[in-house]
Amino acid sequence: MKVIDRFEIPWYQYLNEEGKLADEIPPLAEDTDSLLELYRLMTLARTMDTKAIALQRTGKLGTYPSTRGQEAVFVGVGNAMEKSDIFVPYYRDMATLIQRGAKLSQILQYWGGDERGNDYSNDDFPYSVPIASQTLHAAGAAYAIKYHREKRAVVSLIGDGATSEGDFYEAMNVAGIWKLPVVFVVCNNQWAISVSREVQTACHTIAQKAIAAGFQGEQIDGNDIIAVQHRTVEALKSAREKGEPRLLEMVCYRQHDHTTADDASRYEPKSMRETEWKKEPVARLRRYLEQKGKWSDTQEETLQQECAREVDEAVQEYLAITPQAPESMFDYLYAQLPDIYLPQRDLLKEVEIAAHG
């Protein structure tokens, strides 16, 4: 027997649960101003998340997917991107989108059932609720970038459940064959709705799935904002400059139900959430900043008040938006609505007129 190849999957963590740094650290770890901004964004995202859940519970928002406990992934990825890059999200990317120009009120608008909340003023793609389909869109966008010889990259974010879909493998396959400037980021929060990560795949890591596609995969502590941001920066640099795709597996934990329509207590181990909460990213970065003498209880109180005020203003802006007519749901399906759907649209319009005069 002869071994013709060997593979390794690196794992990155720079800031551990106690807020202590590793021996070798990236420049970001000593950049206090940048870390304070990352901390502010994570705090804002958690404040927004709590408010969105409350709005859903009171009937002012539709089904909503929480990001609690996963803030470092979405903040870190968004912070690592350049404005010229293209972002192809799934549905849990709120903290990334607000760094890409989306307003908090727009995010509420979308989850309130209004597609106008999906209309951003850049090249980023809209929310994708179908699982893993956006990875193919990302590969297509990356191919266009390569074709036009542009120095930018594409980021596609998915959950661990999406790595069980055929779309994911197809997108990685063409990315590897064509050497596309795309970074696939997996927010491995351990649950694809009620299906655990262990049940989804026999692979030791999700990152190693990149090997079959012919490019690098790595695993990152998704609760470590420094590791998330730095490794995404490095992956994007390779994508832009060398046309090298990469798969980044961000390991974290979903500290809420899959969505507000779910009840995770039916399948989640009783002690697991409490155990994983000790690793959560916001408190971890705060401990580090406190140890460096860069954060205090007074600053924390001020930040909480500022985030609450910003979110409340977004809520008021969202609630003040004039709703679209119900028949508008047909207007986002096709560039030109097929004739077969026209009677349904007309009927819904007639019902709305009859109900409201």
Catalytically annotated residues: 254, 258, 267
Residue closest to 22 by CA, chosen among 32, 11, 10, 13: 13
CA distance 285 to 42: 10
Residue 220 bridge partners (DSSP): 12, 250
3-state secondary structure of 308: helix
Residue closest to 222 by CA, chosen among 27, 9, 11, 48: 11
Q: What is the largest CA-CA distance in the chain?
A: 81
Element (H, E) at 154: strand 154-159
Residue 246 bridge partners (DSSP): 183, 216
Pairing of strands 86-88, 11-12: unpaired
Asked if residues 157 and 89 have their Cβ atoms less than 8 Å apart, the reply is yes
Which amino acid appears at position 100 of this protein?
Answer: R
DSSP code string of 115-151: GGGG--SSSPPPP--SSSHHHHHHHHHHHHHHHTT-S
Asked if residues 209 and 197 have their Cβ atoms less than 8 Å apart, the reply is no
Asked if residues 201 and 164 have their Cβ atoms less than 8 Å apart, the reply is yes
Asked if residues 221 and 188 have their Cβ atoms less than 8 Å apart, the reply is no
Q: Copy the structure tokens of residue 6.
A: 């060997």
Measured on CA atoms in the order 15, 50, 62, 191, is the torsion positive or negative? positive
Residue 156 bridge partners (DSSP): 88, 184
Asked if residues 197 and 191 have their Cβ atoms less than 8 Å apart, the reply is yes
CA distance 215 to 209: 9
